[in-house]
Structure 1
Amino acid sequence: MFDSKVVRRRRAALAIFVTLSIVMLTAYFGESRGGLFHTLQRGAQEAFAPIETGTDRALKPFRDFFGWFGDTRAAKGENEDLRKEVEDLRKRVAESSTVEQDARQLRGLVDLERSDGFPDGTEPVAARVIARSPTVWYSSIKIDKGSSDGIREDQPVIAAGGLAGKVSSVTQGTAEVTLITDASSAVSAQIMPDGATGIVKPEVGKPEDLLLEFVQRGRRVTEGTTVVTSGFTSDRVESLFPRGVAIGRVSRVDIDEIERYQRVHIKPFAEIRGIDIV
């Protein structure tokens, strides 16, 4: 228990302190600027000014450090928010670009199906590319349609713009497609309307360039003309590729006076390296 005398002394001291404070405040606010208490205040400020200045200088590095630390944390938070916004925008742009590309390729397939060069009596099956060959020499893709969808080996595969390749193997749910840029590919073709014929093969190491070989040197070949498949159909046999499917456009003709044949370069209509839908 507390001693009652000690408690009384503390209460008395507190009462005296409060009374003196009230008296001094009343006197301070009641006197003029030249009064005693104002003079004492100015003297105390002048006396402690060097100490305050020194303390301020001593504490400034610590204030600067904590200020820098706080600003850095705030900046990191803002940078993280900006990175998230940029990443979100990139995803939206990528998704938009993918949708736009798919729509463009689908429109190309529809336009090709409606064109005069599309084989009569053909029931097209749309498929999406699910895998690609990683090499230039062996150029192939895998699609998400197979025998259960009516896909068979050696069927022609058409992408937006024109011929892309042929089905080389089939499972129930997928199919492997050998593209016209594959080293093993060979397609009989004809230049329209010039009529010159030859075999379309890939230009080795140049997936965006095809060659029409075995074109007689004397045959007229005009740059910019269209190259189509020259397939045929009879009662007994049918060519691998139907007649009239667009392949590409003549981009350049190399004529060697010694060689018997011309080398006709073709720019394929189909975006072979960017095919997503066939």
Structure 2
Amino acid sequence: MPQFFLNKRLIILLVSIIILVALIGFSLNGRKTVTWPEQFVKDTVGLGQTVFHQPAQYVAGFFQSVSDLKRTYEENELLKSKLDRYMQLEAKVKALEDENKKLNDILGKQDSLRKYEPIQATVIARNPDRWHEVIALDRGKVHGVEEDMAVITAQGLIGKIKHASQFTSTVQLVSSLDRTNRISAVIQADTPVFGLIEGYDEKKGALMLKRIPNEAKIKEKQLVLSSGLGGVFPSELIIGEIIEVEPDEYGLTQIAYVKPSANLYDLDHVMIVKRSMIADKNFDKEEEEEK
């Protein structure tokens, strides 16, 4: 009896192997048609996908639309709040302009140290040997350019017109080491502190703001602007921000190192500014002789 069951199991195993091999061979055979069970399964699955796919897409699209609508609402609220602040700021600026105009009318004052007319220009040349000294522009006297006009970019002051010919001009950069290259500046603080930009520290990559009173309380990251008192530059042109402060060599005044706001290495399009209030050149010459 045990021998019979053993032979029976062996026969079943052999038959199973034969069937399995036959099925494998049948599946590997390059058939051009499929059996009806396979067709039934494929058709059933395809129908199910068709039936459930479209509603699923609608549901997913609905939730996506709700999410987009919520995000749009939030962005709209943010833009409305910014617009409200902008309108408030615009109203304040308009009020200040009106107030300033009234005060100027009362005083009979027509000009201002901060007023200027811009002349658009493009940098056409830069000498590698004098990289920190000068650049050349495509605007000259026929375009209204004159010597000593300030030159700026959108970021801040970069220099002044050193020479002007009929169709081109040369700009002396604020980083020029020329001892006559000076800018009357003011440190923006609760109490304005005045000084003179004299010189450029190449190691620090910063302008040197000198003649600052020893008792003046100044610190890093304070903004430095043109004061308009030097007779060349209009007032309130951004020069840069303070990165370091130290006493001068005699300990009588302070020196502030100012990182220029404008990128002096990457200059392409600039503006030449024509100051509305013209300085007394005789006064400037007398001051230069005294110094």
**TM-score (normalizing by structure 1):** 0.52
Shift of 1:202: 2.9
| Alignment counterpart, residue 153 of structure 2, candidates 145, 159, 174 | 159
Where does structure 2 lack aligned partners over 5 or more consecutive residues?
Answer: 1-96, 98-111, 271-291
Q: Does 1:261 align with 2:253?
A: yes
Where does structure 1 lack aligned partners over 5 or more consecutive residues?
Answer: 1-115, 233-237
Larger Rg belongs to: 1
Shift of 1:119: 6.2
1:1-278 matched pairs, under 5 angstroms? 120-135=114-129, 139-184=133-178, 185-193=181-189, 194-206=191-203, 208-232=205-229, 239-255=231-247, 259-278=251-270
Q: Is the 8 A contact 1:137 1:204 kept in 2?
A: no
Residue 122 of structure 1 aligns with an amino acid whose one-letter code is Y
Residue 266 of structure 1 aligns with an amino acid whose one-letter code is V
Shift of 1:258: 5.4
Shift of 1:120: 4.8
CA distance in 2, matches of 1:140, 1:276: 13
Query: Are the structure 2 counterparts of residues 136 and 210 from structure 1 closer, same or farther at C-alpha, using a change threshold of 3 Å?
Result: farther
Q: Is the 8 A contact 2:157 2:237 kept in 1?
A: yes
CA distance in 2, matches of 1:207, 1:271: 14
CA distance in 2, matches of 1:209, 1:129: 22
Shift of 1:240: 1.0
CA distance in 1, matches of 2:147, 2:252: 35
CA distance in 2, matches of 1:209, 1:140: 17
CA distance in 1, matches of 2:249, 2:204: 27
**Secondary structure of the residue that 1:148 maps to in structure 2?**
helix
Shift of 1:154: 0.8
Query: Are the structure 2 counterparts of residues 159 and 208 from structure 1 closer, same or farther at C-alpha, using a change threshold of 3 Å?
Result: farther
Query: Are the structure 2 counterparts of residues 254 and 129 from structure 1 closer, same or farther at C-alpha, using a change threshold of 3 Å?
Result: same
Q: Select the structure with the greater relative contact order (CA < 8 A; seq sep ≥ 6).
A: 2
Of the structure 1 ranges 138-147 and 248-257, higher mean CA displacement relative to structure 2 is found in: 248-257
CA distance in 1, matches of 2:250, 2:146: 43
Residue in 1 aligned with 2:48? none
**Secondary structure of the residue that 2:120 maps to in structure 1?**
coil
CA distance in 1, matches of 2:177, 2:249: 27
Shift of 1:174: 0.5
Q: Identity of paired residues, percent?
A: 32
Q: Provide, for residues 70-123 of structure 1, a one-character-per-residue CA deviation record: whole Å limited to 9, x for no partner.
A: xxxxxxxxxxxxxxxxxxxxxxxxxxxxxxxxxxxxxxxxxxxxxx9x965422
Q: Is the 8 A contact 1:208 1:272 kept in 2?
A: no
**Secondary structure of the residue that 1:231 maps to in structure 2?**
coil
**Secondary structure of the residue that 1:212 maps to in structure 2?**
strand
Residue 184 of structure 2 aligns with an amino acid whose one-letter code is S
CA distance in 2, matches of 1:165, 1:222: 25
CA distance in 2, matches of 1:207, 1:223: 14
Shift of 1:217: 1.5
Q: Is the 8 A contact 2:115 2:234 kept in 1?
A: no
* Equivalent residue pairs, number: 157
**TM-score (normalizing by structure 2):** 0.50
RMSD: 2.4
